[in-house]
Amino acid sequence: MGDIYKEQIVKKNPTTKDTMKKVGLVAAVVLVFFVAVSVIPNFAFVVAIAAGFGAYLLMSRLNVEYEYILTNGELDIDAIYNKTRRKRMFSGVLKDIELMAPANERTYEREFSTATETKDYSTGSGEKGVFAILASYKGKKQKILIEPNELMMNAITSVLPQRKLKKY
C-alpha cells in the first residue's frame, strides 16, 4: 500500500464577534491616546504608537486559516494566524477516533453530547459539508468540526474504519 499524504487549507470566515473585537480594539487605542494626551502630553505619541502596535498584534490573531494534514492515517489540524504563525490544534490517528459523521446529522447527537469540548476548525459558515469527529485529545473527549473538500474526504474514508464513518 502506498503512502497517503493530503493537505487542505480552510480559511475561517470572520464572525460578528471578530468584527466587534476589532472595533473594540480601535476604540481602545483612540481612548488610550486621548487619556495619554491629557495625563502625559509629552509621551502621548509614544503611548499611542505602542497601543496601536499592540492592537495590530491582537487583530492579526483574528485572521485564521486551518490546515488539515492527513499522513498515513494520522490527521493533524493546525491553526495559521495571519499567514505567519502556526499552532497545532489537533493530532490523532484516524483509527483511534470514535465517530465521524456530518455535523448537522441529528441521529448522532447522543454520541456527540458525551464530548466535554467542541472545537470548530471549519470556515464557520455552518453549511453542508461540515463533519464532526468524536475523539480524545490531551485527555479530553472532543467534538471536532472540520470542513474537508472531496479529495480530503476521499483520503479520510480510505483510511478510516468504515464502522466509524457514518452517512458519508
Instruction: Provide the phi-psi class of 73: left if phi over 0, else alpha when psi is between -120 and 50, else beta.
Output: left
Helix residue ranges per DSSP H, 7-95 = 16-39, 44-60
Nearest alpha carbon to residue 79 among 156, 11, 153, 144: 11
- Confidence (pLDDT) at 168: 54
- Confidence (pLDDT) at 71: 92
Which residues of the chain carry a pLDDT beneath 70? 1-2, 162-168
- Confidence (pLDDT) at 65: 94
- Confidence (pLDDT) at 104: 84
- Confidence (pLDDT) at 2: 62
- Confidence (pLDDT) at 73: 87
- Confidence (pLDDT) at 37: 87
Beta carbons of 70 and 157 less than 8 angstroms apart: no
SS3 for 126? coil
Partners of 9 in the β-ladder: 67
Nearest alpha carbon to residue 134 among 161, 106, 108: 108
